[in-house]
Structure 1
Amino acid sequence: MEDMNKAILRALAEIGRAASSKEIAEKLGVPTSKVSCRLAPLKKKGLIESPEKGKWVITEEGKKAIEA
């Protein structure tokens, strides 16, 4: 898996609650756009989900992906 994708998953795991792309980007120290464009593909793979509009959480599959 690509490093930035893994970094996003790790950041979500560390935040431990639903977070916006802006919060994830701030945690990683990257522009929000760098995070935003990767969220839909991660969701498609089942690694994250969006419990409410604009907020993201890591799934069990996502947690397994960063342990691998």
Structure 2
Amino acid sequence: MLFIEHGRAPEPSIARLQDRLDRPWGMFAGGCHINRRIDALIRQSGFRIEHLAHDRMPGPRIYNYLYEGKARPE
């Protein structure tokens, strides 16, 4: 599985803000969550991550942290 998804930022101050804004953000953005650790969710779903990189897309830091990678079923 190839994936690219935005999620929880590594900076503690940004992550705390993501936690506070997640619920209203989801109501505004059709159920989107901005505070999820995408790599952890993929592993919990039974996949083994073979490659993982991080990047930022343009925009506010509360939603621009990206998880990009490749995973296979365990």
- Decide: shared fold, TM above 0.5: no
In proportion to residue count, which structure has more strand? 2
Structure with more relative contact order (C-alpha pairs < 8 Å, separation 6 or more):
2
In proportion to residue count, which structure has more helix? 1
TM-score w.r.t. the length of structure 2 is: 0.28
Flag the structure with larger Rg. 2
TM-score w.r.t. the length of structure 1 is: 0.29
